[in-house]
Amino acid sequence: MCRELSLSSREYEIAIVGAGPAGLTAALYAGRAMKRTVLLEAGIPGGELLNTETIEDYPGFASITGPDLASKMTEHALSFGAEMVPARVTAIGLDADGRKRIEVEDGEPYFAQAVILTAGGQPRKLGIPGEQEYAGRGVSYCAVCDGAFFKGDHLAVVGGGDAALEEAVFLTRYASKVTLIHRRFEFRAQPLLVQRARANPKMEFLLDTVVEEIVGDGQRVERLSLRHLSDGASSDLAVGGVFVFIGFLPNTGLLEVHADHDAQGYYLTDQNMQTSVPGVFAAGDVRAQLTRQVTTAVGDATTAAMAATKLVEEPVAVAATA
């Protein structure tokens, strides 16, 4: 049986933080379950979809732009009754009665029995001229998402960790050549990954080198301006695209209490997407997992929303089995 609630204007059964693909999916399922749900988002709904020019690996759409998919997902999610509120969440705490208190930048806090964290994260940026200008037009942070758009091109990959080496090798299936650019002489990646990359005939390496500017024709990337650290010499590298893998920053700093996480800061969850904090769930790019795709985000969020719904409906039973 569902517990009858007397809710004020800022009290909800389920609160969702972040309106990327995971957050929108969670809102859809929570709304369909007829739970009073609020979706808190500081910006435009869609998350990283808004920075993706074309998507070809989401079931049901042979090709769709990221903004178009974000718009469709938003409309679909809100059609089931979830409320979307433009608000920047600054902290999430636990009150003595078990409610989750969601502090926002401007205004009074929101309260919920269950919270689903879908605030995502963002790739580390190089912070150089041309990077923002050509994002989605030759600058990418996801080889799986965008590699197929660069068939036959000479590509550059920036980074020296596991992700950079793995993604560089992955890109060789599309590119005519992949040049890996790393600021040090030694890699941080596992030796096996380095060995595989060096054995690939399509791979080349520029070590002790940084990218200082990404240059294009106003539409697409054409070349990189490089600086060699040891001697300060400058050079150019003609490429059709550049993939940046220098780290990812999950937005996992909102909880006021400790939640278990891995070494990179991603939340660890159980099979129901619940974190080590009862009633706090995580889905999408904030959660430790093998890969981060739109499809995995919506799958995580489906599970999280259904588990949160069950917790709201059967809090005693859920607590007993936790």
- Whether the Cβ atoms of residue 125 and residue 131 lie closer than 8 Å to each other: yes
Name the catalytic one among 142, 153, 285, 300. Answer: 142
CB atoms within 10 A of CB 34: 12
Name the catalytic one among 145, 153, 285, 300. Answer: 145
Residue that is written with structure tokens 């904090």 in the block: 277
For residue 149, CA distances in Å to 44, 171, 193, 217, 317 come to 26, 10, 24, 18, 50
Q: Is position 145 annotated as part of the catalytic site?
A: yes
Q: Is position 142 annotated as part of the catalytic site?
A: yes
Residue that is written with structure tokens 């979307």 in the block: 84
Which residues are catalytically annotated? 142, 145-146
